[in-house]
A and B are shown apart, each in its own frame.
Chain A
Amino acid sequence: MDATNMTMITVDQAKGLVALPYLKTFTSEAFFFIAAVLMILIHAGFLAYEGGASRSKNLLATMLKNLMTLSTVGLTFFFFGWWVYNGFAFWPGTGPLLGPWTNSDHLSDAVKAGFPYVQSSYPWSDSLSPTKGDELTGVFWMVFALFAMTTASILSGACIERIKVGAYYLCSILLGSFLWVVAAAWGWNYFGWMTTLWGFHDFGCAVVVHCVSGWFTLGVLINLGPRIGRFDKDGKPRPILPHNIGLTMVGLMLIFVGFYFFLACCEVYLPDTTGTVNIYGAPATLAMLAVNTTLALGAGLIGAYVSSKADPFLTISGGLTGIIAVAAGMDLYHPALVIIIAFVAAWIMPKTTMMLEKFGIDDAVGAFPVHGITGTISGILPGIFAIGYISQPGQAPINFFGQLGGVLICGIGLGFIPGYAFSWLLKKFNLLRVSLETEEKGLDLSELGIEAYPEKATIFTPAPSQSMSAEKKIEPTQPSTEKGTYGIPI
């Protein structure tokens, strides 16, 4: 060794160098852990959003249904969802379906490279247990589990106030732990065949999460039918007003915050790499995400504000619409383009909401327009505004037909058709919708035996002609009538 190149270091400096490999791993581990925990804000937001959008007689049942998504999807994503993401990546385009039955000796080099991830995704894998041998798979699992819960929660809001909770739980498992995961395996995966063969690009999960869940929701809503009183005898829509729109708006604000972390988790930061990359391994920065997400939020809000004539519910939904509209290609869009796309998509959203009503579809929170339609638009746009990018050598470039094909497979093949078919099956066995009596009385009293605002009886003001004895005869748990529990027209 050349003595002139030797550098003397202190003992403390030497200790620091020894700790460096651990610190590199810990930085990545901590980044994903913190971002995943903060993604739970999305679910706090959905819970408040849906609770506010429901009538008071259904508030607790609505919130409980949403809350239990954490269980139904969280558990089943551990049982098989994480494996689906890794095992389905190559099949049926570039390789076999990978699982415990796979003999790695028979795999091509490309498939063999992805096989260790499959082996670490089984619920009995050491990578998901307490181990010093793998400190990253667990945090990646949590990120994906939170993505899965988000996907299922999109369905939750649309079918409030009349779906049987058991039916929702089954739908949430099918959607959250299987269908969107298949879409992600194919189109939001370094090894995914849609990416490799078609150049499909979906940076922020606009297609694999929003498009899939939005179209799945539409399929369910067709079989579920509208809430009682949502349409008159001539089929003309009648508004069912949120019982607490303030709660709804705060909920969406929480969703906005959570989505920053959702998108942050769409970037991958690993030890021993020289920068953050997207899921396809191509460069993407948090700075890009900070600028483009904020602009999309702002432009989406004003687009919906103008289009809906300042309707508070639709305006705040426009913010989310704007973010989803640019999510697929935001890593490749100039900020000025982001503003235009987000504005236009959010301007369209209230129009599609009204169009849906004309078909007799009761989408209580606008899930299909916000997630289904916008996710579809978002997925196609990289094929227009970001063509030609090649994320890996040998891979197809981003192109219009690749994007369109991916959107059709995800939206129709993995969203609408399974959603319609599964809910049709549940309907045939009378498992989909609550009874007429339950719906009229309210799900809180009928299914939970309590109501969210029991003190309402004590604030009732009797008419001057009523005596105290008449007041005592008032039923505190009076079911809703044609005029609604609080006189809100339904």
Chain B
Amino acid sequence: MGSPFKTADDYLNATGTLHSFTGHPVSVAISLVISVALTCYFLYKAFVVRH
């Protein structure tokens, strides 16, 4: 999880993706699974939460 660019010039002249998961599809997949799980957790809690 870091810069996909080796130098400042690579970064400044980038034409594609800029994010730190670039080239790490597994990180993207894991994050997406967690994100979906958090959303489902919220939907579940919406039925059981009582202040």
The interface residues of chain B lying within 8 Å CB-to-CB of A311 are 51
Q: Which residue of A lies closest to B9 (CB)?
A: A393
Q: Are B35 and A282 in contact (CB under 8 A)?
A: no
Q: What are the interface flags for A199-226 relative to B under an 8 Å C-beta threshold, 1 for contact and 0 otherwise?
A: 0000000000000000000000000000
Cβ distance B5 to chain A, nearest Cβ, rounded Å: 7
Q: Are A305 and B28 in contact (CB under 8 A)?
A: no
Q: Are A332 and B20 in contact (CB under 8 A)?
A: yes
Given contacts A332-B18, A387-B2, A397-B3, contact A340 B49 (CB under 8 A): no
Q: Are B11 and A395 in contact (CB under 8 A)?
A: no
Q: Which residue of B lies closest to A387 (CB)?
A: B2
Interface residues of A in 374-419 (CB under 8 A from B): 384-395, 397-398
Q: Are B38 and A334 in contact (CB under 8 A)?
A: no
Alpha-carbon separation in the docked complex, A281 to B9 (Å):
11
Given contacts A340-B31, A387-B3, A392-B8, contact A331 B18 (CB under 8 A): yes
Any B CB within 8 A of the CB of A290: no
The interface residues of chain A lying within 8 Å CB-to-CB of B21 are 334, 336-337
The interface residues of chain A lying within 8 Å CB-to-CB of B5 are 388-390
Q: Which residue of B lies closest to A344 (CB)?
A: B38
Q: Are A334 and B20 in contact (CB under 8 A)?
A: yes
Partner pick for A390 among B3, B28, B39, B51, CB 8 A cutoff: B3
Partner pick for B20 among A299, A309, A385, A394, CB 8 A cutoff: A385
Q: Which residue of A lies closest to B22 (CB)?
A: A334
Q: Are A281 and B2 in contact (CB under 8 A)?
A: no
The interface residues of chain A lying within 8 Å CB-to-CB of B7 are 390, 393
Alpha-carbon separation in the docked complex, A339 to B31 (Å):
9
Q: Which residue of B lies closest to A302 (CB)?
A: B42
Q: What are the interface flags for B1-33 relative to A under an 8 Å C-beta threshold, 1 for contact and 0 otherwise?
A: 111010111011010001111000001100110
Alpha-carbon separation in the docked complex, A394 to B9 (Å):
11
Q: Are B20 and A386 in contact (CB under 8 A)?
A: yes
Q: Which residue of A lies closest to B42 (CB)?
A: A302
Cβ distance B2 to chain A, nearest Cβ, rounded Å: 4
Given contacts A385-B1, A387-B2, A398-B3, contact A332 B38 (CB under 8 A): no
Partner pick for A305 among B3, B20, B42, CB 8 A cutoff: B42
Q: Are A283 and B18 in contact (CB under 8 A)?
A: yes
Alpha-carbon separation in the docked complex, A302 to B36 (Å):
12
Alpha-carbon separation in the docked complex, A386 to B5 (Å):
11
Alpha-carbon separation in the docked complex, A42 to B3 (Å):
33
Q: Which residue of B lies closest to A284 (CB)?
A: B18
Q: Are A309 and B35 in contact (CB under 8 A)?
A: no
Given contacts A309-B49, A336-B28, A340-B34, contact A283 B19 (CB under 8 A): no
The interface residues of chain A lying within 8 Å CB-to-CB of B1 are 384-387
Cβ distance B28 to chain A, nearest Cβ, rounded Å: 6
Given contacts A302-B42, A386-B20, A389-B3, contact A336 B8 (CB under 8 A): no
Given contacts A331-B18, A336-B31, contact A283 B11 (CB under 8 A): yes
Q: Are B3 and A310 in contact (CB under 8 A)?
A: no
The interface residues of chain A lying within 8 Å CB-to-CB of B2 are 386-389
Q: What are the interface flags for A319-346 relative to B under an 8 Å C-beta threshold, 1 for contact and 0 otherwise?
A: 0000000000001111011011001000
The interface residues of chain B lying within 8 Å CB-to-CB of A282 are 11-12
The interface residues of chain B lying within 8 Å CB-to-CB of A333 are 19-20
Given contacts A283-B18, A385-B20, contact A302 B38 (CB under 8 A): yes
The interface residues of chain A lying within 8 Å CB-to-CB of B19 are 332-334, 337
Alpha-carbon separation in the docked complex, A331 to B46 (Å):
32
Alpha-carbon separation in the docked complex, A343 to B35 (Å):
9
Q: What are the interface flags for A262-291 relative to B under an 8 Å C-beta threshold, 1 for contact and 0 otherwise?
A: 000000000000000000011110001000
Alpha-carbon separation in the docked complex, A395 to B42 (Å):
42
The interface residues of chain B lying within 8 Å CB-to-CB of A390 are 3, 5, 7-8, 11
Cβ distance A306 to chain B, nearest Cβ, rounded Å: 5
Q: Which residue of B lies closest to A398 (CB)?
A: B3
Given contacts A333-B19, A336-B32, contact A391 B11 (CB under 8 A): yes
Q: Are A389 and B9 in contact (CB under 8 A)?
A: no
The interface residues of chain B lying within 8 Å CB-to-CB of A299 are 35, 38
Q: Which residue of B lies closest to A382 (CB)?
A: B20
The interface residues of chain B lying within 8 Å CB-to-CB of A310 are 49-51
Nearest 10 pairs of A and B residues by beta carbon: A336-B31, A388-B3, A302-B42, A388-B2, A339-B35, A390-B8, A334-B21, A389-B3, A387-B2, A334-B19
28 A–B contact pairs at CB < 8 A?
Answer: A281-B12, A282-B12, A283-B11, A302-B39, A305-B49, A306-B49, A332-B18, A332-B19, A334-B19, A334-B20, A334-B21, A334-B27, A334-B28, A336-B21, A336-B35, A340-B34, A340-B38, A384-B1, A386-B1, A387-B1, A387-B2, A388-B3, A389-B5, A389-B20, A391-B11, A391-B12, A392-B12, A393-B9
Given contact pairs A288-B18, A305-B45, a sample of 10 additional A-B residue pairs in the complex whose CB atoms are under 8 Å apart: A305-B46, A309-B50, A332-B3, A340-B35, A389-B20, A390-B8, A391-B11, A391-B12, A392-B12, A393-B7
